[in-house]
């Protein structure tokens, strides 16, 4: 089938049978994410026009100021995902605990749990720089019809059935995988539909971009410091450049298209790194692997980490395969 002018809605229906549990529920779930993404996009786009900028006044469980749009995006995604009878539980960066859906109804058939970072890169909102939404989807492991439990959320990343992100950038894109490659869709704002613009996205095997907050350099493990110096050394075969937006979704998206590596290592200020395993690192790691890239904490594969808590943080190194392998080489040699 030609991908010309194919909408996300058409793509979801046409590819439904390729998914191993092709009951149509996952397709409906992706559809509800598509809908929430459009609503949030509308709000993000007018952020400079209305009084929606600035902190909402609350501090989330991780002690970070919540921005108004964080709260708005969180509500919209939760509302949209709750309405259809597909999802039995949601965990969000903005919620202390997971939300159980239909927990009192023994007849419900809801099979999926969703973990979301409703607004990623939120410190960029006030300065008109791209932000995003990240989502990760699992099938529950406890029996259908019973209240969802913590163990349904604390599954290893390799158990994800789908993951993706929305980037609210110069154009708005939804990029996702159900384990059969990565496809990107661009929103046509005039029509309100996402169109398949980036079929079968692939990380170049290697690249020239490294993305890391170098303000934390002194705090980094020795292996990471050595890797950064390696990138900075003058050499004909090492034409590296540094690009860091400070919004994981945007940094990842650029690196996947151009070839590059994203790193958020641990340090004394962030002893486990900063990024959250369940709704930031795992979905990005799944996308990276599906696009031929690689993701680890510098030593071991992100998708094999056994989660112990909802808001757990892990060091994160993700991107073009050869570049991640190089960092792992440096970590093995120089370590902490």
> What residue ranges bind Mn ion (CB under 5 A)?
93, 117, 119-120
Give the nearest distance from C-beta 70 to Mn ion in angstroms. 6
Which residue, 119 or 154, has its beta carbon nearer to Mn ion?
Answer: 119
Query: Nearest approach, Cβ of 78 to ligand AHG (angstroms)?
Result: 16
In angstroms, what is the minimal distance from the CB of 20 to Mn ion? 29
247 makes contact, choosing from ligand AHG, Mn ion, none, with CB < 5 to 8 Å by partner type, with ligand AHG
246 binds, among ligand AHG, Mn ion, none (CB under 5 to 8 A by kind): ligand AHG
Residue number, 195 or 267, with CB nearest to ligand AHG: 267
Residue with nearest beta carbon to Mn ion: 120
Residue 182 burial (CB < 10 Å; 0-12/13-18/19+)? buried
In the complex, the smallest distance separating the C-beta of residue 134 from Mn ion, rounded to whole angstroms, is 7
The helix (H) or strand (E) run that includes residue 56 is strand 55-59
Burial of 55 (0-12, 13-18, 19+ CB in 10 A): middle
DSSP string, 242-257: E---S-HHHHHHHHHH
Query: Is the Cα torsion angle 96, 100, 101, 102 positive or negative in sign?
Result: negative
**CA-based nearest residue to 256, from 283, 291, 295:** 291
Q: Which does 213 bind (CB under 5 to 8 A by kind): ligand AHG, Mn ion, none?
A: ligand AHG
Positions that interact with ligand AHG (CB under 6 A): 64, 93, 117, 120-122, 213, 246-248, 274
* SS3 of residue 214 by DSSP: helix
CB closer to ligand AHG out of 120 and 328? 120
Place of tokens 């939300």: 99
């Amino acid at each position: 089938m030609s991908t010309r002018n194919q909408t996300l809605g058409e793509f979801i229906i046409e590819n439904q049978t390729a998914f191993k549990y092709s009951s149509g529920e996952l397709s409906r779930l992706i559809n509800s994410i598509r809908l929430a993404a459009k609503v949030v996009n509308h709000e993000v786009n007018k952020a400079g026009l209305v009084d929606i900028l600035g902190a909402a006044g609350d501090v989330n469980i991780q002690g970070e100021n919540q921005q108004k749009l964080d709260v708005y995006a969180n509500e919209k995604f939760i509302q949209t995902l709750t309405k259809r009878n597909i999802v039995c539980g949601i965990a969000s960066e903005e919620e202390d605990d997971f939300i159980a859906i239909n927990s009192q109804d023994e007849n419900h058939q809801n099979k999926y749990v969703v973990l979301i970072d409703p607004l990623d890169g939120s410190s960029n909102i006030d300065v008109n720089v791209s932000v995003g939404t990240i989502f990760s989807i699992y099938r529950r492991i406890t029996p259908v019809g019973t209240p969802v439990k913590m163990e349904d959320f604390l599954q290893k990343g390799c158990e994800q059935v789908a993951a993706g992100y929305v980037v609210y950038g110069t154009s708005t894109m939804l990029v996702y995988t159900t384990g059969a490659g990565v496809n990107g869709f661009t929103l046509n704002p005039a029509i309100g539909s996402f169109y398949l613009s980036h079929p079968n996205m692939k990380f170049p095997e290697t690249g020239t971009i490294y993305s890391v907050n170098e303000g934390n350099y002194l705090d980094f493990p020795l292996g990471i410091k050595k890797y950064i110096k390696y990138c900075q050394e003058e050499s004909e075969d090492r034409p590296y450049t540094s690009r860091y937006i400070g919004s994981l979704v945007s940094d990842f998206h650029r690196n996947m298209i151009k070839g590059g590596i994203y790193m958020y290592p641990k340090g004394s200020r962030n002893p486990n790194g900063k990024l959250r395993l369940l709704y930031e690192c795992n979905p990005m790691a799944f996308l990276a692997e599906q696009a031929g890239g690689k993701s680890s904490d510098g030593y071991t594969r992100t998708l094999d980490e056994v989660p112990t808590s909802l808001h757990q943080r892990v060091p994160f190194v993700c991107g073009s395969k050869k570049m991640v392998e190089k960092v792992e080489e440096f970590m093995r040699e120089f370590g902490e």
